[in-house]
Structure 1
Amino acid sequence: MFVLSQAQMDRLGEEDLIRAVHRYLADRFPDADPVPADRFLAFGREQLARAEGHGLTTRWQAACYIVAAALAGDRFDEDSPAAREVLADPAMTADRKAEWLTEWVDAMIAALSQRD
């Protein structure tokens, strides 16, 4: 009988999530240079740990965080004053923080698109 430990199941879940985010980014930004899947997997694992540190623990919350990190930089949570403030706000729910990240990323993309 083949048995997976909980840690192995969790890892598979994480890898599936990271691969889904990688595909999403490739589909959303087809003209961008693709990041190799194995490199993105390592990046995604690092970002999952950072997301958890901010209380973002559901798959959706983590996906929002990984997308933000992929587009704004792997340390955006420290480098951006706005992101730092929102992610550190104890009064804001994790879902609201994730929603804010999606709004912030959309605003960033819109601003960059207007420059072209």
Structure 2
Amino acid sequence: MLTLNPDQLGDAAQLRFESRLAALIAQGQPEAAAELESPEGRAMLRRQCRRAERYGLRTELELARYVITAWLMGPQFDEELPAMAEILNAPSLTPAQKAEAIERVASTVLEQLSQGRT
């Protein structure tokens, strides 16, 4: 009989989440698939998840929103964009509200950029 300890289960769950997250990003940017499946790409996903956790984001949805925003806006968007830093550091917002807000801001910025407006 195969027995897994909690750490092994956690590692397996993390790998599965990373695979799903990489596939989700690659749906929107197929050229990203190879990079995200590489060891360096997986390490980047883990780093971004750890950054998200510093802001209290814990659920898969919250982490995915953060990581996708980092993919689109840059890996240090949380420090380089004042509006994002303000949202993520706001004590009055729940983690779910923070994740939703950064997704909305990123979507709005990217939409405006694609239309040639800033």
TM-score by length of 1: 0.88
Q: 1:55 to 1:27 in 2, by over 3 A?
A: same
Percent identical: 30
> Relative contact order: is structure 1 or structure 2 higher (C-alpha 8 Å, sep ≥ 6)?
1
The residue that corresponds to 1:37 in the other structure is 37
Return 5+ residue gaps in structure 1 as ranges.
none
Gaps of 5+ in 2: none
Please identify runs of 4+ aligned residues in structure 1 that moved more than 3 A: none
* 1:26-53 deviation per Cα after TM superposition (whole angstroms, max 9, x unaligned): 11124x5542412221101101111111
Task: Name the structure 2 match of 1:17.
Answer: 17
Say if 1:60 and 1:36 are closer, same or farther in 2 by CA, change over 3 A: closer
CA RMSD of aligned residues (A): 1.8
Which residue does the alignment assign to 1:49? 50
Q: Normalising by structure 2, what TM-score?
A: 0.87
Distance in 2 between residues matched to 1:37 and 1:72, nearest whole Å: 20
How much does 1:105 deviate? 2.1
- Paired residues in the alignment total 115
